[in-house]
Amino acid sequence: MAADPALKMTRKEFVSDQDVRWCPGCGDYSILANVQRVMPELGVPRENVVFVSGIGCSSRFPYYMNTYGFHTIHGRAPAFATGIKASRPELSVWIVTGDGDGLSIGGNHLLHTIRRNINTQILLFNNQIYGLTKGQYSPTSKVGIKTKSTPQGSIDHPVDPIAFAIGCGATFIARTIDVDAKHMQNILKRAHEHKGTAFVEILQNCPVFNDGIWEDVQDRKSRAKASLVLEHGQPLVYGPAENRQGIVFKDGIPSVIDLAEDDDPIERGVVVHDEHPEASSYAGVLATLQRPDFPLPVGVFRAVEKPTYEAMLQDQVDSATAERGVGDLSALLHSGDTWRI
């Protein structure tokens, strides 16, 4: 990734000269600010960074980053990014998508990019609504949501982005919140460090068409109780200090227990978070934790190592070249049976 720790860069260098055109109060502003803030710390020169997006509000993102950028077509950003990364593994390739772009029209590309483990960062902004087309329900919208296209309420069962990524065999899966700058910056750094596809769901508020869906996890007061911060090696404990609760698994089924102030959660059987199990079943159970019965987990669900697609592809080029020598066009054209006249 041509990371250079000595490289001194500033946030400003990553801000393009284009006016940002999201609605006032949109969660995308905060995500953009955090990405621009993290970029200088990654040690990758601006010219080696590429942002690729599809279509939707989130997909305007590349215009605002002073790096290389490609605003492509609806749902296909992962496929464009695959062509970039497979042919130029040294570039740092970031995919910006949304719940409609990534999980509806682009679901197939998301699936295959993740399963190939192409070393890119996928940032999926989830606001559970179509914003740019003015407010139709999305594949992550809850059953019953009333929108312009569902005046009697949605009858679609939603897909959970984290569970989807687990099903695709993602090697890095995380969830963060648009307004939690510190948490998001940490997750972005972790995603960048990961060798392979890093899938990050960012809970994002749409103040115009779906305002407040993440309010309980966004709000500083309610956040402690509504969300569960995942930290490797730490027990699954959440809630205010005076009213802590923990997650225990009984026969593989999660449930909540109350913890007294002097309880040792681990002794009480609270599960200790582990990002690295080879099997994805544990992360799969975490993905089922949904409000109101459970807190919503945020943080890194899973981080495991697997060879990346572009590295294996480059290995094939290198080994073929080592075995057969650099291709000779004349020898190719004369290979097999030929005759002279």
Beta-bridge partner residues of 246: 237, 257
x/- mask, another protein, residues 260-299, rule CB under 8 A, reads ----------------------------------------
253 binds another protein (CB under 8 A): no
Q: SS3 string of 230-281? A: ECCCCECEECCHHHCEEEEEECCEEEEEECCCCCCCCCCCCCECCCCCCCCH
Residues 53-92 binding another protein (CB under 8 A) are: 55, 62-63, 65-73, 76, 78-84, 86-88, 90-91
Contact with another protein (CB under 8 A) among 149, 255, 281, 321: 321
Burial (CB count within 10 angstroms: exposed 0-12, middle 13-18, buried 19+), residue 52: buried
CB 113 to another protein: min, Å: 9
Could you tell me the maximum CA-CA distance found in the chain, to the nearest angstrom? 95
CB 333 to another protein: min, Å: 5
Q: Residue 120, by phi and psi: left (phi above 0), alpha (psi -120 to 50) or beta?
A: beta
Residues 95-124 binding another protein (CB under 8 A) are: 108-109, 111-112
CB 214 to another protein: min, Å: 28
CB 99 to another protein: min, Å: 19
With a CB cutoff of 8 Å and minimum separation 6, the contacts of 251 are none
Closest CA to 52 of 74, 26, 78, 29: 78
Q: Which residues bind another protein (CB under 8 A)?
A: 16, 18, 45-52, 55, 62-63, 65-73, 76, 78-84, 86-88, 90-91, 108-109, 111-112, 313, 316-317, 320-321, 323-327, 329-330, 332-334, 336-341
